[in-house]
Structures are given as C-alpha cells and as structure tokens.
Amino acid sequence: MTAAAPTAPLWKRLWLSLWRLEPIRMPKWEVFIVRLAFALLVWDTQTGWISHWNDPPRAARAMVENASTFDIRWDSQPHPNGLAYFFDFSFIADDAIEYPVRYAMGVSLILYVVGVPGVFTLAIPLFMCLATSTLANSQGSIGHTAQGLHLALLAVWLAALYAFIQKRRGRPLKFGYTAGELELDWARQALSAAYVVSAITKLIVSKGLWFVGAKYFPLHILKNNEMQYYDTLNASARHLDWLPEFALQHPHVCQFLFGIALPLELFVFIGLRNRRAALLFGLGLIGFHQSVTELTHLSFIFNKLLLLMLFVAPWHWLMKLFRRVNAP
C-alpha cells in the first residue's frame, strides 16, 4: 500500500479555493435577472423610484410617472468637471430634448433586458447618464452616488461593443463567454477597480495610517451632528442611533469595522477569480456599507445592489442548494 498524501493545511485549502480561476458562467435565466436588476438601477437615475423601495406599488408608479416629472434644473456649467471641460451638456436641460431622450432611454433599457445587443440598446442610457451627471457635477460640488453604477454601465457597453465586433469577425469570446456573460464580467471588473482606487486613495490621504485613524471616525460623526445642530437648532440632530453611540463607547470596535474595509477594497479583485471569492468579498463589502449607513445615514444603495447582483448572486446559491437537496 502507498501512503496517503498529506492533507494540505486548512488555510492553504481556503486560499486555493478562493484563488482558483473558475470563470463565472451564467445560464440565460441568470443573465436575464442581472440585466433586469441593472436596467432598473440605471432607470432610477432618471426617475428616483428606488426611494420608494419599501412601497412596491408606489415604486412601480414612480418608474412610469416620474419620467415625465423629473426635470434637470441646471442650464449652465459654471464649474466644469470631467467631460464638461470639452463639451457643454447644458442642452440636455432643454425640455424639448430632455424628455424625448429619457423616454428613448426607457425603451432602450427594456430592449436591453429582453436581449437586444447592448451595443445598440445601452448607447442612449450611457449618453443620458454621462450628460446629466456631468452637468450636475459642474455646478460647484461633486457627487459620486452613482459613480460605480455609471462606471459599470460604461464597462457593459464597451463589452457589448467588443462582443459585437468579435462576432462580426467570427471570433469567440474568452472562456467561451456569451455576450451577456462578458458584459457582466466587465461590469464586475469595473466595480472592483473603483474599490481598489478608493483603497489606494485612503492609503495616500492617511499616509498609510488608515487603520490607526479609523477609531476616530465616531468623533467626526459627533462633530457633524453638532454642526447640524448649530445650523438648525434642531435638538434631534444631537440624537445618536445605537451604532454611533456604541462606536463612541468602543472606538476599537469601530477601528476594526472601518479598518477591515481597507483590505476588502484593496483586494476585491480576488473576487473575480470564482463565485466563492465573489461571495466572500461581496458580503464583506455590503456589510461594510451597511455599517457606514447606520453611522452616517448615507445609503450607498447603488453599491450594495451592484455587489449583491454582480458578486453575491443569491439566486445562484439558492438554485445550487435546491439542486443539491433534490438530487437523487
């Protein structure tokens, strides 16, 4: 008899499980689900329906009604930002242009969901999102609420363009991906890149001391609340929810919560290796965002939902569990 090979240490098996390259293949039904969720997020940038997420009938009405009531208020670019240095996007605020383009965007997103190539159906949504966001960010203050979403939208359109060109040339896509799989693969890469840049920025700004300084975050919350109180004289501004109060009393717990986010962001690209790694990093970053929401009341809703649909993919794991339970 030959001796059995020694079992690898647990840490090594876990690492290999996360690092092993297993392209994320997606059946048609899963591509449809993610496309639908992605299109709804993009449509929210023009209708704001997601603010009524806890009231589904009202959210459904907002998807339709708000398209004709949302109005771009800015008609100039006093502080150009990004593409505004080269183009004047104020024309999009003209109602004669804004509303027809928005309606065309809605139709385009529906066609994208049902499978019409994204190179055609995502061109108008991409233009509308870039134009309106660039105009908004050229008013003197910068917002980045939908930054990850718009970056993913750009990546999906570029992937659709690449897939279209490869198809015309008769060449296969990497890993044998379909166009839908490639688009979502590029979207995951784009979102990962945004997190890596965020982590590097934290390291640069904090001079490498992000983890050390994380325990002082509750003091910034307290300072902001005091500033709001003296601005409004509203006593409720001084009220702290349970998590900020807990963080103030236990700074080292806060240091762990915010310190652990740095390696999650910095190494999130490992989540591109396979579904197990994607699940781990997706859940970790969603948990981080939720803790920040509890502390600061900033929702990060786009980031959470993008992580849920691109990395966590609960429907995949539920289907896998269902098949295992019902296997003969």
Long-range contacts of 133-137 (CB under 8 A, 24+ apart): 133/45, 134/81, 134/82, 134/83, 134/84, 134/89, 135/72, 135/74, 135/77, 135/84, 135/89, 135/90, 135/92, 135/93, 136/74, 137/81, 137/82, 137/84
CA neighbor of 260 nearest in space, from 220, 318, 211, 313: 211
| Terminal Cα distance for the chain, rounded | 34
What's the pLDDT score for residue 259? 76
Cβ neighbourhood burial of 173 (10 Å; 0-12, 13-18, 19+): middle
Q: Does an H or E element contain 71, and which?
A: none
Task: Identify the residue with better confidence: 43 or 295.
Answer: 43
State pLDDT tens for residues 86-141.
999 999 999 999 999 999 999 999 999 999 999 999 999 999 999 999 999 999 88
Q: pLDDT per residue over 150-196, tens digit each?
A: 999 999 999 999 999 999 999 999 999 999 999 999 999 999 999 99
pLDDT for residue 291: 80
Please state which of the ranges 7-21, 192-206, 228-242 shows the lowest mean pLDDT.
Answer: 228-242
- Beta-carbon neighbour count of residue 226 at 10 Å? 12
Amino acid found at 138: S
Mind listing the pLDDT tens digit for each residue in 195-220?
Answer: 999 999 988 988 877 777 776 676 66
pTM: 0.89
Residue that is written with structure tokens 């660039």 in the block? 134
